[in-house]
Copies of this chain bind each other. A is one copy, B any other.
Amino acid sequence: MLPERSREQSEQLTRPSPAKEQSYYAGLDIGGTKVAALIADGAGRPLGEAVARTGTRGPEELVASIVTAVYQAAAMAAVAPADLVAAGVGVPGQVNPQTGEVRLAVNLNLQAFPLGEVLAARLGTAVYLENDVRLATIGAYHWLIETEPVTHMAYLSIGTGLATGLILDGRLYRGPNGMAGEIGHLVVQPGGPPCKCGLHGCLETVTSGPAIIRLATAVMTTTEPLTVTAVYQAAEAGHPAARAVVEQVSGYLARAIQLLILSYDVEKVVLGGGVAQMGDRFCQPILRELATMRQRSPLADLMLPDERIAYLPAGYNAGVWGGVMLAREGETGRKG
């Protein structure tokens, strides 16, 4: 099931003219293993979705897998691909949104590739490229402002890595070099675990999905390979070693949230990504850490109330929704 968006809300976001409701947009989230696609109309109604396996053996295979996902979603939506106005595409790597070039996407085996241009030609639509975390940030923001009139938001994505996207004054903040929000490589434990970036003790090495499994595997004895969910379930059931791991991870994440709020003064931090999909099970230990900080400090009490933290509902794919929003806003901005 796709979450339904009300027509009123969506019109409020970009105020499309009634005629534009018959325009169709594609949102695409390219991951290391799968491409997710969503087709929505100009009023923000979801019409069809699909998932294809990511082609990683070169640009040609990648483009083919993206086109497959779009065509399947369009078929489900009963929309002719030719009727698509624009597509918003999230890429796990460094992109240039102006030129549509993928500078570097290690997991996709891409470097200096004009993905936007190639996709635009193959799909016959305008194509807007963005980094995947930033695209999910746009999706998270549109989810958030359906119920809260927030102008400053941080999206904290916790999955195989950890990264942040920012909305400041109602707009995506990228920074002059497009590097804003790379807090996964902040050194929070000097001399800590080695990170693939070359440093030691980066935030990502003590909080991401692989980090949680590494930490738990070192202290829990199991016959099967651990999953993040299994670690959190064991902690809930009172397993001392699992609890210690969850407490340590949650402490780092509570301080990452503190960092985002103290640095940017954002009104809301929204958690998302593969690990955060556990929802309450994942968030409650973080909220407990924040509650402890509030008890000790009037400043923390002022700046870190529970109301400032939210997580995406499990059924909401922020990436593809961000893609639809980016495509619609790009076209609205271009045409008037």
Q: Is the CB of B176 within 8 A of A152?
A: yes
Residues of B within 8 A of A263 (CB): 164, 180-181, 183, 259, 263-264
Other-chain contact of A265, B178, B197, B303 (Cβ < 8 Å): B178
Judged by a CB distance under 8 angstroms, whether A293 is at the interface is: yes
Q: Is the CB of A198 within 8 A of B299?
A: yes
Judged by a CB distance under 8 angstroms, whether A267 is at the interface is: yes
Interface string of A149-192 (1 = CB under 8 A from B): 00110000000000010001000011111111111011110100
Q: Is the CB of B186 within 8 A of A259?
A: yes
- CB A134 to nearest CB in B, in angstroms, measures 12
Copies of this chain, count: 2
Interface string of A186-209 (1 = CB under 8 A from B): 111010000101111000000000
- CB A130 to nearest CB in B, in angstroms, measures 15
Judged by a CB distance under 8 angstroms, whether A251 is at the interface is: yes
Q: A197-B300, A199-B296 are in contact. Are A174 and B258 (CB under 8 A)?
A: no
Taken together as a complex, chains A and B put the C-alpha atoms of A186 and B303 apart, in Å, by 12
Q: Is the CB of A299 within 8 A of B185?
A: yes
Q: Is the CB of A199 within 8 A of B168?
A: no
- CB A308 to nearest CB in B, in angstroms, measures 10
Judged by a CB distance under 8 angstroms, whether A219 is at the interface is: no
Q: Is the CB of B303 within 8 A of A179?
A: yes
- CB A214 to nearest CB in B, in angstroms, measures 20
Q: Is the CB of A177 within 8 A of B265?
A: yes
**In the complex, residue of chain B having the shortest beta-carbon distance to the beta carbon of A296:** B198
Q: Is the CB of B296 within 8 A of A179?
A: no
Most buried by B among A168, A180, A251, A265: A265
Judged by a CB distance under 8 angstroms, whether A298 is at the interface is: yes
Judged by a CB distance under 8 angstroms, whether A262 is at the interface is: yes
Judged by a CB distance under 8 angstroms, whether A45 is at the interface is: no
Other-chain contact of A173, B168, B175, B259 (Cβ < 8 Å): B168
Number of chain A residues close to chain B: CB under 8 A: 42
Judged by a CB distance under 8 angstroms, whether A297 is at the interface is: yes
Q: Is the CB of A297 within 8 A of B151?
A: no
- CB A179 to nearest CB in B, in angstroms, measures 4
Which residues of A from 257 to 302 have beta carbons under 8 Å from B? 258-259, 262-267, 293, 296-300
Other-chain contact of A180, B180, B259, B264 (Cβ < 8 Å): B264
Other-chain contact of A185, B151, B262, B266 (Cβ < 8 Å): B262
Q: Is the CB of B187 within 8 A of A255?
A: yes
Most buried by B among A188, A251, A262, A303: A262
Residues of B within 8 A of A152 (CB): 175-176
Residues of chain A at the chain B interface (Cβ within 8 Å): 151-152, 164, 168, 173-183, 185-188, 190, 195, 197-200, 251, 255, 258-259, 262-267, 293, 296-300, 303
- Excluding A151-B176, A186-B255, A198-B300, 12 further A-B contacts by CB distance (< 8 Å) are A168-B168, A175-B265, A180-B263, A182-B299, A185-B262, A185-B297, A185-B299, A188-B188, A197-B299, A198-B298, A199-B297, A263-B263
